[in-house]
Structure 1
Amino acid sequence: MSTEARALWADGDFVDARVAWISPFDVAWRSGHGAFESFSVRLGDRAEVHALFDAHLERLGEAARFLELGDMPSFDAPSVFRKLLARAGLSRGRGRVSLHAMGAEPRFVASVEEGEDLDVRRSRGVRLVTSPYRFGADDPTPRHKCEARGFYAVARADAVRRGADDALLIAKDGSWLETTRASVFVVRGDEALVTPPVEGRALPGITRAVLLREAERFGLRVSVAPVDRAELGSARQVFLANAVVGIEAVRSIDGETLPRADDSLEARKVLDQCLHILRSAGMGV
């Protein structure tokens, strides 16, 4: 990725991303006392910016209250990201907003950078392995996107070391929660989706919420129910959903190859329909 294909806005001003600097003595930044949101953002035919800004900023605000970061500044996200894309010379990219504790410099940051070709990435699929690590029973942080990402970084590094792309995070009872970067869905039958409950245990994904809210209107049945490894014998497909990639099929879990969407017209139809739902909702994927 070219260092030129990125742009930065901080505390109300556009700044040169090549010379941006954060003090190593800034306590909020060095301790990760902050929260963030990330998503794909793109310009439409009429220069409208596609991304579910309201949902992401609402979740960021919830994290800010939980982490006691102070009030969130006012922020015209569509305008800022339209200008960020222009400054980076991009029509689409990976967007990010982060908020740190009062006194941090900078405190509120938005950025855009060139991302992967999403069609190419989606065509590859994802290899998962079950993580050996578990969230603490009383840990309140997994429900927020905290800047301090040590747990997720270790889990993903372990997965990569074992030849996978990401880690499948599970509860102590073996039920699935999420990966380090996405919500999990299982295609159980014709146009029937199930996603594990995450309330209080994992991040309630924005993309997950869109599918739960909109799927039925597009002819898909979706439910929230416990999911575990026993699903693999009958699952038509397992896929991941997040606001950066949209929909991404899972190729294998713990070395066990899963049905490929391209081998099943029904599964392919479901994945394509889910991607259509996300785009219809205004997401930039």
Structure 2
Amino acid sequence: MMGTVAVNGEVCRLEDLRLQDFLQSFFFGAGFFETLLVEEGAPMFLERHLARLRESLGAHAGCVHAPPPEVLTPEAVREALRRCLEADASLGPRFTGVAKLVAGDGRLLLSFRSLPPRPPEEGVALQAVEERCYRRGDPTLNHKSVSYLRQYAHLGRGTVFVNEAGELCEVPNGNLFFLVGDSVVTPPLEAPCLPGIIRSVLLVEGRLAGRPIVERPVRREQVGDVRGCVLTNSVSLALAVPRLLGRELPESHALAGHARAVVRESARRNGD
């Protein structure tokens, strides 16, 4: 994490933050976060991220102390971001990297970090399964809580989370799209999985590589019918999954390329 941050729009240094200002978030995980791609100083899909953040805060109004509404507007976040970039020469107005919003304890914390290392040319292989901690219909997994140990423990391990019914749900850092038959299939929110921002963009577009995008369960034993797979998240946008649970998927790279093009075109068209 880089040294300049903003709290409720006020620019400060990371080392000046006080633990007592974030006690509920720190001790109880009572908060939510959003991770955004920033390109040349412009946050991508900011309105969608804030809408999801406000929805999570509203769904947990009795246990999470939300920031003031005025700091949760796109205009306020853009202004805070601009001021942070101008205040820190290591960032600068044309910063390209990752911004993170954390909401809880009545505060909105904005911080920054560098882009992750580029994924290898062959994409991201998903070869492991975790089937002990996801249960169909679990509503907590539809929100990006700062209580993130379940996902964090599996980052970088090529893990797919599977529910008790043997249905593929998501990966620690993103949603999944599978090329099956003549459709591109993504698990429903009830699987459960996070309502990812890139997931929502693709669902609104409705088609990928000329095929309809549909929400329906994909069971583990159906992996043999999958010809391509894409991992989506707000930083990498879309990554090819050329190997899924022991199977080679020859169409993943082309599918991921189509997905990135669709997402970027949506952002351009909608001013995101």
TM-score (norm 2): 0.82
User: Do 2:161 and 2:170's aligned partners in 1 also have CA atoms closer than 8 Å?
Assistant: yes
- The sequence identity of aligned pairs, in percent, is 23
In 2, Cα distance between the equivalents of 1:181 and 1:221? Answer: 24
1:116 is aligned to 116
Q: Mark the runs of 5 or more structure 1 residues left unpaired by the alignment.
A: 262-266
User: Do 1:174 and 1:228's aligned partners in 2 also have CA atoms closer than 8 Å?
Assistant: yes
SS of the residue 2:207 aligns to: helix
What is the aligned-residue RMSD (CA, Å)?
2.9
1:259 is aligned to 249
Q: Which runs of 4+ in 1 moved over 6 A?
A: none
Aligned residues: 258
SS of the residue 1:198 aligns to: coil
SS of the residue 2:241 aligns to: strand
SS of the residue 1:127 aligns to: coil
TM-score (norm 1): 0.79
Displacement after TM superposition at 1:108 (Å): 1.2
Taking structure 1 as reference, are residues 121 and 72 closer, same or farther at Cα in structure 2, changes over 3 Å only? farther
1:282 is aligned to 267
Displacement after TM superposition at 1:121 (Å): 1.6
2:257 is aligned to 272
Please list, as runs of the form range in 1=range in 2, the aligned pairs for 1:53-202 lying within 5 A after superposition. Answer: 53-68=46-61, 69-70=65-66, 72-75=68-71, 76-86=76-86, 87=88, 88-89=91-92, 91-102=95-106, 107-117=107-117, 120-121=118-119, 123-128=121-126, 129-136=128-135, 139-154=138-153, 156=154, 165-189=157-181, 192-199=183-190, 201-202=192-193
User: Do 2:160 and 2:168's aligned partners in 1 also have CA atoms closer than 8 Å?
Assistant: yes
In 2, Cα distance between the equivalents of 1:25 and 1:242? Answer: 27
The one of the two structures with greater contact order (alpha-carbon pairs below 8 A, sep at least 6) is 1
User: Do 2:131 and 2:164's aligned partners in 1 also have CA atoms closer than 8 Å?
Assistant: no
Q: Deviations over 1:158-207 (max 9, x none)?
A: xx6xxxx33211121101111111111112256x3111112372211111
Taking structure 1 as reference, are residues 85 and 121 closer, same or farther at Cα in structure 2, changes over 3 Å only? farther
1:264 is aligned to none
Q: Which amino acid aligns with 1:151?
A: R
Displacement after TM superposition at 1:218 (Å): 7.3
